[in-house]
Structure formats: structure tokens, C-alpha cells
Amino acid sequence: MNYVFDLDGVMHKHVDLPILKEDSIDFGSRKYNIDRDEMPTNIFTLNVEKAIYYSKKEHNVYIVTSRRTQNNVIKCVRAIGIDVDTIPDKNIICGQHNKASIIVKLKAVEYYDDSPHHIVEIQNIRHLLPEEFKLFLSIPEKNVNIDVPADLNLSDSDIKINVHRVLDFQRNYFLL
């Protein structure tokens, strides 16, 4: 089985809040807020431990990130405590702005991301994934992953409407 994690905001917490500036092409995304060469120190321990656990159970663990520089990403992954036996270099996939196609290709059974934009993207292709697929919205500020229900309606063609639905879902989760 294949378990897939985003890097920034999922394996470490050095990220800004989602971009909600109306005219931004990155609407609904989150950006890391440390220098590209700086190694993260604020680790999202819950997810690092999940990756190690799945690897020890002999599952394949992947990092799929929109960051482009493979060497820096590998150094970052190693700096947060994930060794090459847990996630081999070949399982670190960089430069992916459209993560949905990679998630489908890998036939992932779980995917973790902190970006409402990517949650929308994956939710809309969920029917192409294995029946047991689970999607998680990682909230680094709260140290939690929220299981996104398969029936959460994110089918509107306007990404901004859907991003706000994800944020409303997140807000309602914490009100429970």
C-alpha cells in the first residue's frame, strides 16, 4: 500500500496560513516560511511518526511536494528525522503543482496535505482512487489531521468557493 505526504505544513510546521488574497494564483495554498536552504526545526511529529510506522509495516511511503529542488527537499526530509530506509530518495517526488495525477498514479490509500487548494484537487478525483482511500487535512497549528469525508461536496467549478468550504469544514471540526 502507498501512503503519501506533502512536505511543508505536513512533516514540519514552518508554513503561513492559507493564501486568501482574491487575485492570487496561489489562492488556497500555504507557503513555507523559512529560507530554502534552512532546515526545519519545528517538526510535525504526528505525521513523521505515521510515516515511520507505515514504513516499518513494509508499506511504501512517499513525499510529494511542489518544491522544485530535489537535493534541498531530500536534505529537509533527512533533517526532520526520516531516514532513507523510511522514505527512499526515489520516493521523494518534487515539482508537483498538480498532485492529483501523482496520487492517482500511485494508487495511494492515504494522502496528507495542509493546503485547502490541494484538498479540493484530490477530493474531486477521489472516485479514481482505491475505495479505502482516506484524505487528511493537516493542521500544523493544532497538531492534528482531519479526516475529510468522501461525501464532502467540493464539486463547484470555482476553486475559491471550494477552498472556503474546506476552511468552513475545518472551522466546524474545531467547534465540535
pLDDT tens by residue, 56-95:
999 999 999 988 888 999 999 999 999 999 999 999 999 8
- The dihedral sign for the CA sequence 22, 28, 29, 34: positive
pLDDT of residue 82: 96
Please state, in angstroms and rounded to a whole number, the distance separating the CA atoms of residues 117 and 104: 17
pLDDT of residue 164: 94
pLDDT of residue 159: 86
Q: Which residue numbers in the chain have pLDDT < 70?
A: 176
- Tell me the domains of the chain and their CATH numbers: 2-175 (3.40.50)
Contact call for residues 169 and 149 (beta carbons, < 8 A):
no
Give the DSSP H or E segment for 75.
helix 70-79
How many CB atoms sit inside 10 A of residue 48's CB?
A: 19
pTM metric for this prediction: 0.93
pLDDT of residue 176: 64
Cβ within 8 Å of residue 51, ≥6 positions away: 3, 5, 11, 61, 82, 86, 87
pLDDT of residue 83: 96
